[in-house]
Amino acid sequence: MTKKNIAVVMGGYSNESVVSLKSGQLIFDSLNKYLYNVFKVQVLKEGWFFIKDDGEKIEINKNDFSVDLDGQNLKFDVCFNIIHGTPGENGILQAYWDAVHQKYTGCNFYQSALTFNKKDTLAVLSKYNILSAKSIYLRKGESVSEDEVIEKLGLPVFVKPNQSGSSLGITKLKDIKNLQKAIDFAFAEDDEILIESFLDGMEVSVGVLDYKGETIVLGITEIVSENEFFDYEAKYEGASQEITPARIDEDTRIKIENIAKKAYNSLGMSGFSRSEFIIMDGTPYMLEMNTNPGFSPASILPQQAKIYGISLEDLCGNEVEKALLK
């Protein structure tokens, strides 16, 4: 049997690229080298590069996403997309790959673009009776008064970029006098922001994916942040407890699992996903869905897979095999 060539594509153009490189390394390590020829590709602001074993970088040919390697033109049977943020999580890279007929893991460009936009995702899912926080949406150049925020949402509120990941640019605002500072902080990450009402409850992160032909909930992880909320430090630098399975009763577990699967299937998703919810008075409220969630050793999805009993080799291999059939 001829081995398939698999490129683990990591990096990206945002501040999340550091996390993506760690995620890419874990996937590179986890893919079965007896079944696949596995390579590293970094898509960065400064260029797109094939990474040789000795660390040498060779530019990717963007005409067909191939690389000239030792006199041979190497093409990839599948690109394993593990870029967090732009351009791998917002549909840009997927649309390019579609144009050059390159197969890839995960969802397509439309689902990627939709789920990267928190406002639009929650608006679509509201049609399926999936609840979310009340919010005010602003584009860069627009403003909102302090009185309007208090009247519509109360305090505290969260001010966050509409299209950004890894909890960058988010403020939990308790004093309305700091509204403009929080807005400016969010606009530094994105040209669109959300001001959301505070949901006082347990935060959980729910891993969902299509595995061997079935939509499964990989796990429900309870987030106990040492900070005000699950920010970048809590998410990636250990300032939180992540408890899997979450400490919830059976009825709540079933309710969250059903809602998470409903959201995944309603959006026509494929591949890894991690949805965030706040459980308030037994009712789950959805915050967002990540279609390329963190996959470093400290990330939630690998933790959930271990508890679920799926090895990382099987989890990653399943994504490759699905992509090969596209």
Distances (CA, A) of 296 to 22, 198, 284: 5, 29, 27
What 3-state class would DSSP assign to 321? Answer: helix
**Helices within 57-166 (DSSP H only):** 92-99, 109-116, 118-126, 146-153
Q: What pLDDT is recorded for position 189?
A: 87
Residue by residue, DSSP assigns 48-60 as: EEEE-TTS-EEE-
d(CA 6, CA 79): 6
DSSP per position, 224-283: EESSSSS-HHHHHSS-EEEESS-S--HHHHHHHHHHHHHHHHHTT--S-EEEEEEEETTE
Distance CA 182, CA 199 (A): 18
Neighbours of 63 (CB within 10 A): 7
Helix, strand, coil percentages in the chain from 3-state DSSP, rounded to 5: 30, 30, 35
**Which amino acid is located at 22 in the chain?**
K
What is the full per-residue pLDDT of the chain (326 aa) written as tens digits? 799 999 999 999 988 899 999 999 999 999 999 999 999 999 999 999 999 999 999 999 999 999 999 899 999 999 999 999 999 999 999 999 999 999 999 999 999 999 999 999 999 999 999 999 999 999 999 999 999 999 999 999 999 999 875 467 899 999 999 999 999 999 998 899 999 999 999 999 999 999 999 999 999 999 997 756 544 444 444 557 899 999 999 999 999 999 999 999 999 999 999 999 999 999 999 999 999 999 988 889 999 999 999 999 999 999 999 999 98
Q: Is the peptide bond before 284 cis (omega within 30 degrees of 0)?
A: no
Q: Assess contact for 138 and 118: CB atoms under 8 A.
A: no
Place of tokens 């403009």: 180
225 bridge partner residues: 240
**pLDDT at residue 10, as a whole number:** 98
Task: State how far the Cα of 204 lies from the Cα of 226, in Å rounded to an integer.
Answer: 15
Count of CA atoms in the C-beta half-sphere (13 A) of 59 = 6
